[in-house]
Structure 1
């Protein structure tokens, strides 16, 4: 039961921190001026406040569950010394402290959002990046030593940041494409601009995910397939790659069909049709991305080296 709870907490924390960084960074590179103010386009302040608070709670719960599993203690009084040891004497504890501090900084940044929305989002984005990067110390990279450890952790961090930017952008675009009572030509123009703006960002994201994904495989498994694909790690990795390919297909569809369709709708007046088509496509892409997040969280708990022996 503890293993299941740990897995669910790990999945929830991954998704939460990916969105903290992704949503804040989307506000930085896709919105301008008053568009960044919460409520003008997206409810950025309450969304980021909820995600940051959830990240702290999930981090606390995760640390307690991991320490409980390692120590075998269930009583809080008996568990407390083990928690102190985890925080003071392990890399995981140090990463946890950095994460919670970074999430607190996100909350502080949001207190100035109404006066300085641009500065607020910049700080939240950078702090969110630090919080997200801290997850690398609970993955395979933390098990390496020397220069290999440094390069593996760097690859893991870049992979996490690219995934967070993609996930956050997908959520933002889904919310912006809602055809509610407030949807008009001005919102359509903003949506079309955001989609076009995301084109170059998306290209960087895909390149980063591809390069770091290959690098991480080489770090963990090595330049061979062997019997890896026959074990649980290999099967989950193959599913992840297949789903990633599906996301690329949808991204190409958005870039070369739905994006231009959205721009043409500014001329022919078919606003809702174009926006709904884009929203459905991005929503499917977002759903696939969430499944991949689950697979990544799961893969981080498996050891292909042990399976291959």
Structure 2
């Protein structure tokens, strides 16, 4: 299952991404965390300390990723012809979660008990010539070619605000958790997400964060209604971890909230044909607009999503 954490900058989405990833890993579930935020703080939130993590960024290896994933697909002549929304077809290299393959071997590093991939930072060489979503294209291609099964999880910490809708990546998830603080600014992004998500049939749930009492909870309920799934309270455990003095255990209320998140994800098995149809529709809808050409020929009408063929 693919899960995105989104929200306004400072809402705590990176912290929630890390807490949920560790929660799954400690329960013995196969999980992969992906840092898709321009600020690239997920490794720190997972507990990495010291020199920068030596994970090769996905965004810096986009051509190699395209070359690998296109495999022998006859509809994709070259890596240059492949764009970030290109769906898989017969002959494409499909991935199992954390499989023994070139892509996972090169890009996955462990932070504690959580495997992590990173998109890479937006640096000076990108200024004026690229946008951060070009780096996120590698994540979109990865998810397009991933055949993950029940009880397997990919947790992506997305870029802040409504920027997540600037690419087709937001359609690649089974569940999107919008993290919101109990303030007007905290819920300001919610309506944008709700409207875009409904247009594409994306499941979205609000997770209240930094809740201090009944007034905070009532505010969130009034602002987001039934979309409020659960909430986390102000956490001394999280604050201590952020200050580099992690101690004790996560508070019972907050641990319960993480269980609610997992239960919500597990309650809706994936509809593979629908997921692939979304990928194809978004590819055709957007590729012509910015690529300036008809890329319909990249879509394989005979491709069956949801399984890796035996060679």
More strand by share: 2
The higher-RCO structure (CA 8 Å, 6+ apart) is 2
Bigger Rg, which one: 1
Q: Identify, as 1 or 2, the structure richer in helix.
A: 1
Verify same fold: TM over 0.5: no
Place the TM-score, normalised by the shorter chain, in its bin.
Answer: 0.3 to 0.5
TM-score, normalization by structure 1? 0.33
Structure 2 length as normaliser, TM-score?
0.33
